[in-house]
Amino acid sequence: MTVDVLELVRLRSHRPEAIAEAAARRPRRPLLNTSGRLMIVAADHPARGALGVGGRAMAMANRADLLERLCLALSRPGVDGVLATADILDDLLLLGALDGKVVLGSMNRGGLQGASFELDDRFTGHRPEDIERLGFDAGKLLLRIDYDDPGSLTTMESTARAVDAMAARKLPVFVEPFISYRDERGRLRNDLSAEAVTKSIAIASGLGGSSAYTWLKVPVTDNPDDMAEVMATSTLPAVLLGGEVGDDQDGAYEKWRGALQLPTVCGLVVGRSLLYPADGDVAAAVDTAVGLL
């Protein structure tokens, strides 16, 4: 579809209440369908200032282009829903693209990419009460832990309280944990070794006063053969995250395919690699990912 930016601006400026109205009448569905699998397209990167894809530093900066890619992805068979921040979800509500879809609100986007405070990842996005009020289906939060950065402790505590608040509302929350570090240039990196991912899962699983509504959103380790042992760390349901895959899209698919066979892994949450594939074919990339499920 072609996104009419003028119409979106008209609605936002003249009838801002149209967003709440669209949310109220949105047909809903269970988080999991009868297959027990979940395919979510992620688009919450821009709110953290992370606009790059591959070698294109501003690939996600054009909002109309991003919305068109999202609408195309959401229209493909087998795609269950979307993960995004309020600005993007509001646009998708006005476009009618969220009807009958699973909607995940992105909760903490304060750890801006490249900032000195990146690991003090404040909750600047959806609050639990927002997700409840809008009738969305779940929330997602990012938890990066650097043992040398005290900002990680602030994020851990805030994460635990968010887990509590979501559980009190009986709303699922997807926790995306990493053990992180800064390289020689001070850039934040995520450790995808089996030991680091295992530790991150163990830490995330124990946050809050109840894990009843907690899901995990985890990466595939550097060595995919380690995933069975890594995922044995917790009984919480999990989805795999896509992340940057570079030009080796087929290699990424194979990594996901193997990990999707594990008993706690219920699906995929993938963003840039499907919305901005190297060959430009969004529909084909999405369909291939859905086929893995």
At residue 245, the pLDDT reads 63
Angstrom distance (rounded) from CA 106 to CA 142: 9
Give the domains, in start order, of the chain with CATH numbers.
5-25+38-291 (3.20.20.70)
At residue 261, the pLDDT reads 95
**pLDDT tens, 174-226?**
999 999 999 999 999 999 999 999 999 999 999 999 999 999 999 999 999 99
The torsion angles phi and psi of 152, rounded to 5 degrees, stand at -65, -35
Task: Quickly state the pLDDT bin for 147 (edges 50, 70, 90).
Answer: very high
**pLDDT tens, 59-118?**
999 999 999 999 999 999 999 999 999 999 999 999 999 999 999 999 999 999 999 999
> Between the CA of residue 156 and those of 47, 123, 176, 204, 290, what are the distances in Å?
20, 11, 12, 9, 33
**pLDDT tens, 224-272?**
999 999 999 999 999 999 866 666 777 888 889 999 999 999 999 999 9
263: region left, alpha or beta (phi > 0 left; psi from -120 to 50 alpha): alpha
Q: Which residues 6+ apart lie within 8 Å of 206 measured at CB?
A: none
Q: Say what the pTM is.
A: 0.96
Helix (H) or strand (E) holding 82: strand 81-84
